[in-house]
Structure 1
């Protein structure tokens, strides 16, 4: 089956946290025989900051950030059996959704794939006339990359016929154990861009523990933190390309996951970085959110912190030997249950069930 996928960017992770999710999911679906074309706009300097070349498992169409070009690429939806419009494309999202749905041929499976469901739902609740609210009536399926039952119930209340989470996962081809890199040496590393609904949590879970433990070495990676006031024991390394993520994860004694506020409040929303760190065999400390145990077992495969003091306490008690044991257990778990091959099997089953039901209804 042919998939037309309209998303933010497959080729660039620059200010685009969904990139590794897209790559893992689409690579695994391609391996199951899907013919995929990914359409992404040339905006936010992403094409100037590519971190992969166009892959062999997916055709990529980069289009200019103009309304006319948007309409032209949206028209190609007619060629696909499955048409996906992702959230957060970044250029005229509402218009793109409208044009893509208009172009779909009769019988095509129409999907809205939400890669930031808590934020999208908050936007929909605040805007009763939001275009996506109206479009849900004509969309066959909403997929999300997290959120659990709270997101499923919320989307159904808004009129979605069906909503199913397809969670983040690990792509073992891109995220795996590597040799340490002296550039990332330290006791605790955190990798994440500076975002409005994350900054206060970074202060609480990362910068405050650094202040409390001046003899520990902290490492901060990600875009946007250059003018942030930091304790002397925090080293800022700037943007870390995806090619260096494995080394960033395995070199410090532990790495930290800090969810955005909306993700933490909703729960059941493991960030991509959770699986990337586990896939590299890193010892991960994560802020608490409901549903963690569905993915990694607390105290055995991951350390959980409810506040900054917990982070400091975990670091104080963590020996290199225990860190290695936790990292190995996490790696074993994600390889066993949480790879994109697992997720693609689930998505493939969903797609085929929906297509089969549509064919039976048409007979």
Structure 2
């Protein structure tokens, strides 16, 4: 591409991962797009105490605009101003404040030749909400966006969006930034047999009870480490230690210090499949041995048994914890790292995005997604 694009991106937060699991996904994508010569302005609301819990300062590879989110008219004007200078306008799902205003304004202020994208970082939940509502505002807007991009979901999500009138829908999967997630030395304060990094959410807690807390109770001599928000009032087995919010600067050490790193999907993402969490790729980038709960499409990203361990239920997790000794864990982690560096980096994802924006529908038709 001879000239880089100006991209206006409305999302939850680029600078804070506090109650915001998509932060490192946004960072990886946008940093890689910047390296290809594109310019991104990221607009995020001052909400949910995220600015008080920043992980990073404003980065050199994006301009960050933090806006007060109480006034719908002011937010609409912000979109109007962003549209004046952008070649591409992106509205990500789950901003959490005035989402409906943003989704409508991106289309209302679209200029001739400008590309609009609805980027869904929680497609199963979004689609379920639209199906359940008699008249969901977003459902009516979907056919007017040039693109629907999703954080995962495979053909099931693509077909669902097409049935709602989407012009084109493409998954842009999670990946790893090797400059951010890489092997480090273990730290004694984070040593554990099993670690899990997950905020407490209603649609994941039951699965965490099964895949994490039940194995912990079954292995009283094992050490289990739990990072993430919301667990302070949860009754825990005595061998589970909680960390609270773990800033992204500590993620590498957390992943490197456990024999096994557990991934537990949310209900809807496990049901739909093809929705690997950001943490899976980040832990693989560190060279961690990952156990994931079972869902369709795992083998599209990693080879089970060689690059990742797959558990059907809590009993299976318990068995894997007992049988996966450090030597084997290191071998699986090394294989996972090789795989993500080969097939799942944000540089690869950025080239995919660039190709889509350049070739538009011709490229999508070749991929079979439109």
Shared fold (TM-score, shorter chain, > 0.5): yes
- Per-residue CA deviation, residues 88-131 of structure 1 (Å, 9 max, x unaligned), is 01111011111121112111011100000000000010114111
Root-mean-square deviation (Å): 1.1
1:11 matched to 2:6? The reply is no
Task: Give secondary structure in 2 for the equivalent of 1:315.
Answer: helix
Query: Is residue 143 from structure 1 mapped to residue 155 from structure 2 by the alignment?
Result: no
Gaps of 5+ in 2: 364-370
Matched ranges for 1:164-203 at <5 A: 164-203=170-209
- C-alpha distance in 1 between matches for 2:125 and 2:23: 18
In the alignment, is the contact (CA less than 8 A) between 2:93 and 2:122 conserved in 1?
A: yes
Find the partner of 1:212 among 211, 218, 238: 218
Q: Is the 8 A contact 2:143 2:164 kept in 1?
A: no
Give the match for residue 230 of structure 1: 236
The corresponding residue for 2:256 is 250
Equivalences for 1:318-337 in 2 at 5 Å?
318-337=324-343
Aligned match of 2:268: 262
* Post-superposition CA distance 1:216-255 (Å, at most 9, x none): 1111111100111111111111111100000100101111
Note the alpha carbon deviations across 1:113-162, whole angstroms, 9 max, x for none: 00000000000101141111111121111000100000000000011011
SS at match of 1:253: strand
Q: How does 1:36-75 map to 2 (within 5 A)?
A: 36-66=40-70, 67-75=72-80
Give me the TM-score of the superposition, normalised by structure 2. Answer: 0.95
- In the alignment, the residues of structure 1 paired with residue 210 and residue 221 of structure 2 have an alpha-carbon distance, to the nearest angstrom, of 18
Name structure 1 gaps, 5 residues minimum: 358-363
**In 1, Cα distance between equivalents of 2:164 and 2:54:** 36
Q: Is the 8 A contact 1:63 1:69 kept in 2?
A: no
SS in 1 for 2:211: helix
Which residue pairs with 2:294 in the alignment? 288
Structure 2 equivalent of residue 361 of structure 1: none
Q: Supply the distance in 1 between the matched residues of 2:362 and 2:330 (Cα, whole angstroms).
A: 47
Give the conservation status (yes or no) of the 8 Å contact 2:106–2:116: no
Query: Which portions of structure 1, spanning 4 or more consecutive aligned residues, are displaced by more than 3 angstroms?
Result: none
Q: Distance in 1 between the 2:154 and 2:361 partners? A: 24
